Amino acid sequence: MIRVLLVHDTCLVRSALAEWLRREPDLGVFDTPWHTAPGRLRAVRPDVCAADLDCSDAYGIPPLGELSVREPDRSPPRLLVMASANRPGLLKRAVEAGALGYVDKEGAAPERLARGIRRVAEGKRFVDDSLGFGFLQAAEMPLTRRELSVLSLAAEGASIAEIAGSLCLSHGTVRNYMAAITRKTGARNRIDAIRISQGQGWL
């Protein structure tokens, strides 16, 4: 029996997917939204964590790190993510979090999710081909971590002065970062850079 913790923020979707998976005789399925995932993880101790990369909190960035917390007497759960090729920033985060499985939710049927869970439970990789272009874009992420911090604050509505204050930079340096970000993302201006970066899941 493979113990699975399904993480998804939309109740309607989570219930329907969990019910689908529960009909598979070899899967023991538990489910949770993102905000209670860490606690459920400790209680359920799943073999596989199957997590949707869309998260309704934290500006849409899922707290993947919280799913791979190590405990003394056991190995951490294997991670499978439900992803989209058009959000390369989220794919990159999943790679960094050590996910073994990548199911394309824009193209896959639930059967494919079940197959992915079984592969990942064996410690093997499972990657939908249709995510390929997304991975390519993820590898080509143009912004540095510092530039991303600047852009995240700008996207929250912070002014140049506020960004400078919170990152301990001069106003001129923040302006230089913003210019570099706009150029590197191929944007027309600051707002366009935020739009492009959010659309791709960098922010």
Q: Which residues bind a second copy (CB under 8 A)?
A: 9-13, 15-17, 19-20, 56, 82, 86, 103, 105-110, 112-113, 154-159, 187-192, 194-196
What span, in angstroms and rounded, lies between the C-alpha atoms of 5 and 121? 12
Q: Which is nearer to a second copy, 180 or 187 (CB)?
A: 187
Q: Which is nearer to a second copy, 44 or 113 (CB)?
A: 113
CB of 199 to a second copy, least distance (A): 9
Contacts of 195 (CB under 8 A, 6+ apart): 187
What span, in angstroms and rounded, lies between the C-alpha atoms of 3 and 23? 14
Strand order in the sheet with 2-7: 27-32, 2-7, 48-52, 78-83, 101-104, 126-127
CB of 74 to a second copy, least distance (A): 29
Q: Which is nearer to a second copy, 39 or 107 (CB)?
A: 107
Q: Which is nearer to a second copy, 68 or 130 (CB)?
A: 130
Tokens (6 digits) for 178: 């913003």
